[in-house]
């Protein structure tokens, strides 16, 4: 059945770019694999480039045209055929290249000519097929010209960089927030449930977040948690999320069952003021499952804030006081106009010639925030074109949401108006399980490996991917979970309704297929329909059930992803099923599965670009070098150390190494000078490595840093003393870091707490572009902070546990001129002297377990851009000094000397302060 609202296929544009990149890389780095079909590859490349230009023309036109849909369908089929043909040839050629001459000679006598030669002929045939399609469609340009004259056009220019909308800048909720804050901070001195009720799209979650961050609420409740419930949830996971917010839980807690977790949480909350937000509770039975975890706490003000679409849920959660139910109303006209302006122009201004359309749109939206932000996302394509505003104003009724069914229609419209480069990235978010906080660093690596990011001159793919994500956030399709200290997004997630749309659309596009508890039986049947899927994701089912029968061959599957809530031990015999079934894999994300050894069969997946695995092993074999396509390697191990036996610098596309252990790389020093020089020449010609985190100090050889001139993030974990030997006859290895001109993020983590580092090297030994430094267990004297203060570009400084020691820190004048974020972890510091001159750009200060510190320097109150001070488990005297600093800031704001945007957070409450050991 034809969908009511057709959308343009996301496959061709991204697939062509990715296939072209792959062919270029093969010709550059593995020419020997395709030497026999070089001419066919080059011809296919040329045909694809021409096809890409033709597609750029086609995407300017109406997606609802049958002509366009048919054209896109044909393009999609032939592009995927080309991809399959080329990948199959590369796999066969790579396997053949590894055979010894005896086996190869025997093999050639049998069917070798028919395999590689037939694959080469298929490459030639598919190139011819693409040529025929282009000839046919080029002749149809007259149809496109007629189409342009008769249909509404959505001409998309290149998407410019999206300005970031401040998440705290919420329009129209001031009165509502004030009312809910009074409900939370006033009233009875025991447990009470407060509810926010409203239809889909009114902004219940936005309001809940607003009051959760309110300074009065923050002051009242030092113990707080904000969790999403949604339609499908796991009670144990929700309880763990609450616990992680209110206390420092350990691995033993994660092993508890639901009943034990509930009782444990209740004990953690007993006798304390607390606020728990349960966002998006659907049914009364959902409330009943959690209510017993929240103690009554006589004479202690405690609140549970519930947001729900169902008023009966609100009344059921609080049967005593109906005044504790806040019904969210529609926005008035002026607030509607203001919200529309901020979402389109990111300021409270609208050009005069557009204001009549602005009023018309605001009136037709009837005060529904979701409709307003959706329309703002559509207008964003052409924010200053009056004809576009007029077109949108005439179509507002299509965007107004009154129920869940219409919500899907709105999402379809939002998706339709997305630029083509964002569509596959948005759909990809559906591979993650519901309510999963997606780590952005991992999402970015996956997008790049999947070929969803377009290369642009002078920008690396990872930076472009983060810009794509910011665009999706600005268009209200992705929610920000946390931001990093440098203000970049750390985690994100999508609303349930949006995720369901992604899954539905992706299935129709054969973009990905989720295997879950509902459809698992069909995948375990005798004849599962698996051949058409490019990506499989396994969410919240026992993967052993799926693998135990041996999954049938998936000739089209390029990605196998798992997103489980808990780690699962995988039997050794099952680990080989994945590479046997899916030979053309490019992405393998199986971190929830624990392997007892590094799976050797994985090294036969020569097309892999991304692999993420977990296990109890401590060695990765030399066979990893077979993965000549590999870009990202992520390994989590229970071992304290990890040995990588492969010379990864020989891998031409390698970009990122992420491990949780001290990782040893092969030493280049053992090679001959001639061989070492050859390795360096090859590595420097690639210049792709951006991340090494974390490697051992022993792996910090001069040659390693010579091999990674474009390194942006470096983490070193182990006994660090040799890196700081500045007086020995052998030069300190630390000085080699200064040659890393692209290094932005440096982590130095010492695992030998009995070994105090004697000194920091001079500031000139640090890379010049460093913006972030993290130190752990380095036990340095505070006087060496002046060295860090001399770093010109340092913006973020995280001093984790025992980074520095000593009772007094006198901050030197003239240092830390660009520092924006300072974190100080567990330390024996007692006295700290500083003023605004020492930290003129400081925006946030966080102290964690500084239980001996007597006060925060009052001079910090004079820093004009200081926005937040966060205290975890500090001395009550520090909390008192922070309150005085807060008062000073308020007085300055009242005099008009400072902005009143300042937040103080103290955890736990001052009357129960103390630092857990």
> Sorting pLDDT into bands at 50, 70 and 90, what band is 416?
confident
> Sorting pLDDT into bands at 50, 70 and 90, what band is 675?
low
Question: Is a pLDDT exceeding 60 seen at residue 607?
Answer: yes
pLDDT tens digits, 513-547 = 888 877 777 777 666 666 677 899 988 777 777 77
- Min mean pLDDT across 58-67, 373-382, 815-824 is at 58-67
Tokens 């129709």 -> residue: 508
As a whole number of angstroms, the distance between CA 408 and CA 415 comes to: 10
Nearest alpha-carbon partner for 372 in 327, 337, 415, 402: 337
Domain ranges of the chain: 11-150, 174-327, 333-416, 431-497
Q: What is the pLDDT at residue 386? A: 86
Question: Is a pLDDT exceeding 80 seen at residue 456?
Answer: no
pLDDT tens digits, 193-244 = 999 988 777 788 888 988 898 888 887 887 889 988 877 788 888 898 888 8
> Sorting pLDDT into bands at 50, 70 and 90, what band is 782?
very high
- In this structure, are residues 529 and 553 in contact, taking their beta carbons and an 8 Å threshold? no
Question: Is a pLDDT exceeding 50 seen at residue 49?
Answer: yes
Nearest alpha-carbon partner for 470 in 461, 462, 480, 460: 480
911 φ, ψ (degrees, to nearest 5) = -75, -10
Q: What is the pLDDT at residue 236? A: 87
Question: Is a pLDDT exceeding 50 seen at residue 47?
Answer: yes
Tally of CB atoms within 10 A around 175: 11
What's the whole-number average pLDDT of the chain? 80
Tokens 């607390």 -> residue: 274
Mean pLDDT for 165-189 is 76
**For residues 95 and 683, which has the higher predicted lDDT (pLDDT)?**
95
CA dihedral 579, 584, 589, 593 (to 10 degrees): -10
Mean pLDDT for 846-869 is 91
As a whole number of angstroms, the distance between CA 504 and CA 498 comes to: 10
Mean pLDDT for 394-420 is 69
CATH for the 431-497 domain, from 1.10.10, 1.20.1730, 3.30.1490, 3.40.1130 = 1.10.10
Per CATH, 333-416 and 431-497 having the same topology is answered no
CATH number of 333-416: 1.10.8.430
E strands present in 280-354: 302-308, 325-327
Question: Is a pLDDT exceeding 80 seen at residue 13?
Answer: no
pLDDT tens digits, 635-657 = 999 999 999 998 887 788 899 99
The three-state secondary structure class of 585 is coil
Question: Is a pLDDT exceeding 50 seen at residue 706?
Answer: yes
**For residues 537 and 123, which has the higher predicted lDDT (pLDDT)?**
537
Range of 262-276, 553-567, 596-610 with top mean pLDDT: 262-276
Mean pLDDT for 406-424 is 78
Question: Is a pLDDT exceeding 50 seen at residue 141?
Answer: no
pLDDT tens digits, 215-229 = 888 878 878 899 888
Q: What is the pLDDT at residue 5? A: 38
CATH for the 174-327 domain, from 3.40.50.2000, 3.40.50.300, 3.40.47.10, 3.20.20.70 = 3.40.50.300
User: Which residues are CB-contacts of 593 (< 8 A; sequence separation ≥ 6)?
Assistant: 543, 562, 567, 568, 569, 570, 575, 613, 614
pLDDT tens digits, 741-770 = 999 999 999 988 777 788 888 888 889 999
- In this structure, are residues 636 and 614 in contact, taking their beta carbons and an 8 Å threshold? yes
- In this structure, are residues 556 and 529 in contact, taking their beta carbons and an 8 Å threshold? no
For 736-753, letters b (16+ CB in 10 Å) and e give bbbebebbbbbbbbbbee
- In this structure, are residues 437 and 429 in contact, taking their beta carbons and an 8 Å threshold? no
Q: What is the pLDDT at residue 147? A: 42
At 644, list the tokens: 């990588």
Q: What is the pLDDT at residue 61? A: 52
Question: Is a pLDDT exceeding 60 seen at residue 63?
Answer: no
Q: Which helix (H) or strand (E) holds 848?
A: strand 844-848
Q: What number of residues does the chain have?
A: 917
- Min mean pLDDT across 69-78, 438-447, 621-630, 691-700 is at 69-78
Question: Is a pLDDT exceeding 90 seen at residue 725?
Answer: no
Question: Is a pLDDT exceeding 50 seen at residue 106?
Answer: no
Q: What is the pLDDT at residue 534? A: 86
**For residues 327 and 55, which has the higher predicted lDDT (pLDDT)?**
327
Instruction: State CA 287 to chain mean position distance.
Output: 30
Question: Is a pLDDT exceeding 90 seen at residue 821?
Answer: yes
pLDDT tens digits, 307-319 = 988 777 888 888 7
Q: Which helix (H) or strand (E) holds 592?
A: strand 587-595
- Min mean pLDDT across 78-87, 144-153, 289-298, 466-475 is at 144-153
As a whole number of angstroms, the distance between CA 418 and CA 429 comes to: 15
At 395, list the tokens: 């179509």
Tally of CB atoms within 10 A around 631: 22
At 851, list the tokens: 């239980």
**For residues 118 and 60, which has the higher predicted lDDT (pLDDT)?**
118
As a whole number of angstroms, the distance between CA 233 and CA 287 comes to: 12
Question: Is a pLDDT exceeding 90 seen at residue 336?
Answer: no
Q: Which helix (H) or strand (E) holds 880?
A: helix 876-894
Question: Is a pLDDT exceeding 80 seen at residue 775?
Answer: yes
Q: What is the pLDDT at residue 436? A: 84
Question: Is a pLDDT exceeding 50 seen at residue 44?
Answer: yes
As a whole number of angstroms, the distance between CA 749 and CA 686 comes to: 29
């Amino acid at each position: 059945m034809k969908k009511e609202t057709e959308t343009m296929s996301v496959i061709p544009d991204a697939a062509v770019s990715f296939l072209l990149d792959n062919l270029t890389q093969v010709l550059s780095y593995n020419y020997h694999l395709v030497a026999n079909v070089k001419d066919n590859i080059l011809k296919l490349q040329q045909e694809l480039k021409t096809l890409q230009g033709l597609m750029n023309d086609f995407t300017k036109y109406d997606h609802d045209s049958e002509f366009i849909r048919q054209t896109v369908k044909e393009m999609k089929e032939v592009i995927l055929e080309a991809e399959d043909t080329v990948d199959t040839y590369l796999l066969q050629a790579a396997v053949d290249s590894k055979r010894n001459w005896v086996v190869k000679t025997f093999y050639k006598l049998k069917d070798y000519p028919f395999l590689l030669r037939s694959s080469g002929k298929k490459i030639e045939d598919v190139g011819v097929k693409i040529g025929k399609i282009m000839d046919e469609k080029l002749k149809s340009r007259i149809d496109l010209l007629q189409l342009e004259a008769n249909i509404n056009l959505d001409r998309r220019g290149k998407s410019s960089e999206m300005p970031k909308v401040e998440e705290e800048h919420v329009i129209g909720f001031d009165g509502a927030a004030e009312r809910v804050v009074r409900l939370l901070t006033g009233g009875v001195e025991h447990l009470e449930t407060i509810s926010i009720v409203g239809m889909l799209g009114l902004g219940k979650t936005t309001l809940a977040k607003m009051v959760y961050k309110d300074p009065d609420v923050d002051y009242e409740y030092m113990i707080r948690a904000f969790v999403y419930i949604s339609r499908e949830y796991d009670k144990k996971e929700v309880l763990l999320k609450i616990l992680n917010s209110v206390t420092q839980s350990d691995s033993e807690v994660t092993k508890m069952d639901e009943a034990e977790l509930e009782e444990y949480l209740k004990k953690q909350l007993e006798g304390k003021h607390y606020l728990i937000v349960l966002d998006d509770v659907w049914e009364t039975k959902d409330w009943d499952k959690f209510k017993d975890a929240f103690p009554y706490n006589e004479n202690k003000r405690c609140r549970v804030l519930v947001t729900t679409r169902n008023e009966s849920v609100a009344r059921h959660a609080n049967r005593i006081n109906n005044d504790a139910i806040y019904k969210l109303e529609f926005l008035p006209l002026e607030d509607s106009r203001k919200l529309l302006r901020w979402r389109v122009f990111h300021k409270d201004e609208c050009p005069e010639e557009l204001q009549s359309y602005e009023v018309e749109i605001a009136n037709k939206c009837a005060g529904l925030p979701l409709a307003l932000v959706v329309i703002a996302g559509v207008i964003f394509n052409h924010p200053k074109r009056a004809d576009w505003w007029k077109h949108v104003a005439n179509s507002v009724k299509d965007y107004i949401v009154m129920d869940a069914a219409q919500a899907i229609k709105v999402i379809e419209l939002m998706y339709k108006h997305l630029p083509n480069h964002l569509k596959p990235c948005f759909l990809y978010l559906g591979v993650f399980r519901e309510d999963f906080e997606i780590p952005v660093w991992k999402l970015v690596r996956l997008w790049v490996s999947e070929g969803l990011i377009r290369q642009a001159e002078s920008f690396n793919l990872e930076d472009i991917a983060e810009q794509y994500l910011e665009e999706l956030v600005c268009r209200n399709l992705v929610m920000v979970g946390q931001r990093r200290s440098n203000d970049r997004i750390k985690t994100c997630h999508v609303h349930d309704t949006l995720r369901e749309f992604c899954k539905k659309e992706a299935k129709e596009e054969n973009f990905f297929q989720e295997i879950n508890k509902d459809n698992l039986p069909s995948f375990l049947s005798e004849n599962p329909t698996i051949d058409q899927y490019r990506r499989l994701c396994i969410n919240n089912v026992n993967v052993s059930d799926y693998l135990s029968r041996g999954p049938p061959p998936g000739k089209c599957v390029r990605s196998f992803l798992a997103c489980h809530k808990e780690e699962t031990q995988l039997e050794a015999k099952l680990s080989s099923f994945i590479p046997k079934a899916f030979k053309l894999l490019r992405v393998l994300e199986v971190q929830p599965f624990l392997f007892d050894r590094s799976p050797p069969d994985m090294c036969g997946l020569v097309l892999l670009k991304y692999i993420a695995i977990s296990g109890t092993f401590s060695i990765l074999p030399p066979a990893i070098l077979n993965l000549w396509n590999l870009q990202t390697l992520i390994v989590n191990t229970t071992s304290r150390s990890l040995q990588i036996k492969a010379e990864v610098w020989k891998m031409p596309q390698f970009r990122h190494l992420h491990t949780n252990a001290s990782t040893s790389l092969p030493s280049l020093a053992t090679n001959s000078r001639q061989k070492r020089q050859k390795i360096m020449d090859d590595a420097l010609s690639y210049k792709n490595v951006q991340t090494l985190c974390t490697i051992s100090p022993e792996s910090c050889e001069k040659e390693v840093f010579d091999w990674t001139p474009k390194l942006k993030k470096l983490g070193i974990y182990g006994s660090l003393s040799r890196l700081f030997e500045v007086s020995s006859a052998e030069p300190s290895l630390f000085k080699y870091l200064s040659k890393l001109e692209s290094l932005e993020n440096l982590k130095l983590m010492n695992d030998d707490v009995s070994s105090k580092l004697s000194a920091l090297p001079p500031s000139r030994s640090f890379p010049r572009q460093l913006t972030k430094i993290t130190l752990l267990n380095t036990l340095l004297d505070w006087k060496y902070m002046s060295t860090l203060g001399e770093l010109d570009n340092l913006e973020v400084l995280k001093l984790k546990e025992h980074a520095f020691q000593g009772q007094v820190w006198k901050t030197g004048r003239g240092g830390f001129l660009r520092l924006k974020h300072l974190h100080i972890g567990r330390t024996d510091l007692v006295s700290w002297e500083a003023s605004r001159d020492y930290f003129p750009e400081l925006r946030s200060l966080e102290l964690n377990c500084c239980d001996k510190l007597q006060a925060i320097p009052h001079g910090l109150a004079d820093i004009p851009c200081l926005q937040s001070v966060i205290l975890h488990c500090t001395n009550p005297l520090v909390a008192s000094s922070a309150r005085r600093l807060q008062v000073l800031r308020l007085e300055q704001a009242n005099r008009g000397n400072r902005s009143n945007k300042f937040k103080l957070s103290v955890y736990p409450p001052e009357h129960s302060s103390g630092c857990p050991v």
